[in-house]
Structure 1
Amino acid sequence: MEAPHRTDILISGGGMAGLIAAAAFGADGHRVICVDPAPPITAEEEGGADLRTTAFLQPSIRLFERSGLWARLSAHAAPLQIMRIIDAGGATPEARLVREFDAADISEAPFGYNLPNWLVRREAAALIDDMPNVEFRPGTGTEELVTREDEAIARLSDGSRIAARLVIGADGRDSVIRNALGIPVRTTRYGQKALAFAVTHELPHRNISTEIHRSGGPFTLVPLPDRDGKPCSAVVWLERGPEVERLLRLPNDTFEAALNARSTGILGHLTPVTRLSSWPIVSQLAARFTGRRTALIAEAAHVLPPIGAQGLNMSLADLSLLLDLSRGEPGSRDSLDEYQRRRWPEARMRMSGIDLLNRTSMIAPRPLRDLRAAGLGALYGIAPVRRLMMRAGLGAGRD
């Protein structure tokens, strides 16, 4: 049998987390191979393009700067200066409670920046294409993994074998790497689905991200750069599954009316400008994040509802710590033990918080929605609590 090709880092998965990981490890001087069964879709108009956006918080922006990716992304990013929470759980979908969290209360910088997912993939793929020590192999997946004390050997779908000091599973919620390690997962299904699309609107967003609670799940408007000379935002709309299916079947004008009713008119009239995408909402946590010479990041390790900009930011927190721990011997037992010790409890804690927020946002009975509004109003009205929650959301003081 032919000897395996050797590298420092093998990344299984070429989604956003995998491509960013390849760029970051490459920028740190490691030899990297990244594989994915499918090529990245890097244009908004292509079929199958990921039309969601991600609010990258400041710790993630620092990782982008470290990898060289921020220079490619900054011109396309919309800053997030204020996070606004609205309760619209009364008899009609109108704002009856508004609380705002201003980044200026804790920092001179905004909370972060919002970017389209397809664009991040495009720029990450372009960056690693320019790195002589990084190889991206789209159209090639990982099929088998054997781990040893000194290396892990993966067999790829093209028949080749790769020996790496560290294998990173960034291959999603059905991770081949996690399954090869025999790591179980705990999954919670909420009976919800999310709709994601972009809208233009009459009023400027003023770099404010708005999360509106009524029932079924939060309705979130996240700033984007202007589109065709008009203010633009990304929408993530969570509802129970049957309601999302009903919304998807509506004629365009009826859907637009439902959209504007749900938005409480906070940005004036909203007009959809991209196709709708939808996906089921679950939370999922792997029983552990490591094996011999192997680490799980992103959705291979944890999946959670799109609330509070925690999903991909948690994934990049995984990556940032793994980078720091890999400065000596990538994949060493000590480094992976430390990664497990620090990231798994942090992920479990944040998932518990997001689970509570999501279940609270799903409340349907009117009396319970009234209690929710009263509780949120009291909690968010206490200045020290507000600052603590903002710092916790950013991951300040952790990792």
Structure 2
Amino acid sequence: MDNPAPRAIVQPMNTKTGYDSDVLIVGGGLNGPATALALARAGLSVTVIDALPETTRAAEDFDGRSYALALASVRLLRRIGVWDRVADQSQPMLEIKVTDGRAGEAPSPFLMHFDHAEIEEGPMGHMIEDRYLRRALADAMAEQDAITVLAGETVTDQAIDEHGVQATLASGAVKSARLLIGCDGRSSGTARRAGIKRTGWDYGQTALVCAIEHEKPHDGIAHQFFLPPGPLAILPLPGNRSSIVWSETREQALAVNALPEEQYLDILRPRFGTFLGEIALAGKRFTYPLGLSLAQRFVDPRLALVGDAAHGMHPIAGQGLNAGLRDIGALAQVLQEARQRGEDIGAIDVLRRYQEWRRFDTASLAMATDMSNRLFSNDNPFLRAARDIGMGVINAMPGLRRGFVREAAGLTGDLPELMR
């Protein structure tokens, strides 16, 4: 049984060296606070620079955003003192059904069906709303003496030398540390100021994201329905509600999102089907363009990138946040071990251990999601036949099915200690 996160003790060495903290984190979304909590648990002091005001982060209204957290990610959140705060608001994902078809038609009879009972560890993952996870991270940080949050602040400049890093804020304040971590998204200013470029491409697709209420219970089953323009994910939330991530061509998505609510639902219904009865929108609607984006390197001297700042991929497997949490687990472990050995946590040879741990895994995942999207997001009859037969073969082989379930649960590969 995982133990809750211990209360971190601020190390007195900071007052002797003159740093404001051991680590500066740029970004206050999800990855930034989770990184701060993991590093505080490792005995490091942290300053989080968040561009949004505290009142915005603390908003309690439901806006429709939700996340699919793999089992390994739930373990990490429990270890850093967050999961027990949100467990009662989460929805376990007990099964995953993957099908192929066209809007308004019955899905292909060939499908993949994954059941959590095929592994011993429990549910493959949980769905959690953004409003609950965001507040739980903020509350956990507020209880840590080792963490300082500067809300409503942005970084305008950063200076790095062999001794440390200084970040200049829009307010004119300057903060110093031994290490700077960018958790500031795909358009990371931290990476840009360091001269770290990105490679990737646009898919010409846009994701429509919303939450719906439905007449019938979902029974904890997540659905991935592959349509010619792109995949439709139906992910269970507590009660008779589900989160929708629906990919369309760029032009179609923007046109659909601009429609009134009932017309929006009229277009969703033939894609969604009738298996959950009548549906209605719950919360706001969002769109975001889809593409592949990888930082050419994850580290520099005294600088590391985490989450979307390092890698952005197609949401086809729901692995964006999970990949970021793996980054956090790996980086926290590397820095904790370096600190215990008396090494400089900002030294490039230390940070390269993190990059070597995460870069291949991240690139492999990005390529897998890229190939899956290209294979399924079309109406080519030959590809349709091949992928349907392939899904049927996988579904008929228990060993392969179990491997897919473990992959979905985040239990494969070299797991950080916080995820074991």
Q: Tell me the TM-score normalised to structure 2 length.
A: 0.88
Percent identity between the two aligned chains: 30
Assess if the C-alpha contact under 8 Å between 1:216 and 1:239 holds in 2.
yes
Q: What SS is found at the alignment partner of 2:199?
A: strand
1:398 and 2:414 aligned: yes
Assess if the C-alpha contact under 8 Å between 1:186 and 1:286 holds in 2.
yes
Q: 2:350 aligns with which of 303, 321, 335?
A: 335
Q: Deviations over 1:330-381 (max 9, x none)?
A: 3333321111111111110000000011122311344533333223222333
- What stretches of structure 2 of length at least 5 have no aligned partner? 1-16, 340-344, 416-420
Q: How does 1:51-70 map to 2 (within 5 A)?
A: 51-70=64-83
What amino acid is aligned across from residue 282 of structure 2 in structure 1?
V
What amino acid is aligned across from residue 27 of structure 1 in structure 2?
R
Assess if the C-alpha contact under 8 Å between 2:299 and 2:348 holds in 1.
no
User: Which residue of 2 is the match for residue 382 of structure 1?
Assistant: 397
Quote the RMSD (CA, aligned, Å).
Answer: 2.0
User: Which residue of 1 is the match for residue 330 of structure 2?
Assistant: 321
Q: Name whichever of 308-317 and 106-115 sits farther off.
A: 106-115
User: Which residue of 2 is the match for residue 87 of structure 1?
Assistant: 100
What amino acid is aligned across from residue 298 of structure 1 in structure 2?
G
1:256 and 2:284 aligned: no
Q: 1:161 aligns with which of 153, 174, 199?
A: 174
User: Which residue of 2 is the match for residue 244 of structure 1?
Assistant: 253
Q: How does 1:249-398 map to 2 (within 5 A)?
A: 249-327=258-336, 328-329=338-339, 330-393=345-408, 394-398=410-414
Name the CA distance, whole Å, in 2 between partners of 1:249 and 1:322. 41
User: Which residue of 1 is the match for residue 199 of structure 2?
Assistant: 186
Name the CA distance, whole Å, in 2 between partners of 1:377 and 1:391. 19
Q: What SS is found at the alignment partner of 1:15?
A: coil
Assess if the C-alpha contact under 8 Å between 2:154 and 2:169 holds in 1.
yes
Q: Tell me the TM-score normalised to structure 1 length.
A: 0.92
Q: How many residues align?
A: 390
What amino acid is aligned across from residue 201 of structure 1 in structure 2?
H
Query: Structure 1 pair 269/99, CA: closer, same or farther in 2 (3 Å)?
Result: farther
Q: 2:39 aligns with which of 25, 45, 52?
A: 25
User: Which residue of 2 is the match for residue 133 of structure 1?
Assistant: 146
Q: What SS is found at the alignment partner of 1:274?
A: strand
Q: What SS is found at the alignment partner of 1:113?
A: strand
Assess if the C-alpha contact under 8 Å between 1:170 and 1:297 holds in 2.
yes
Q: How does 1:78-227 map to 2 (within 5 A)?
A: 78-89=91-102, 92-226=105-239
Name the CA distance, whole Å, in 2 between partners of 1:41 and 1:165. 27
Query: Structure 1 pair 133/176, CA: closer, same or farther in 2 (3 Å)?
Result: same
Assess if the C-alpha contact under 8 Å between 1:54 and 1:115 holds in 2.
yes
What amino acid is aligned across from residue 203 of structure 2 in structure 1?
Y
Offset at 1:172?
0.7
- What stretches of structure 1 of length at least 5 have no aligned partner? none
Assess if the C-alpha contact under 8 Å between 2:104 and 2:273 holds in 1.
no
Offset at 1:94?
3.7
Q: Deviations over 1:115-158 (max 9, x none)?
A: 11232112211221222221111111112222223322222222
Offset at 1:242?
1.4
Assess if the C-alpha contact under 8 Å between 1:55 and 1:112 holds in 2.
yes
Q: 2:84 aligns with which of 59, 66, 71?
A: 71
Offset at 1:186?
0.5
Q: What SS is found at the alignment partner of 1:273?
A: strand
The structure 1 segments of at least 4 consecutive aligned residues displaced by more than 4 Å after TM superposition are: none
Name the CA distance, whole Å, in 1 between partners of 2:35 and 2:383. 43
Query: Structure 1 pair 211/117, CA: closer, same or farther in 2 (3 Å)?
Result: same
Query: Structure 1 pair 204/180, CA: closer, same or farther in 2 (3 Å)?
Result: same
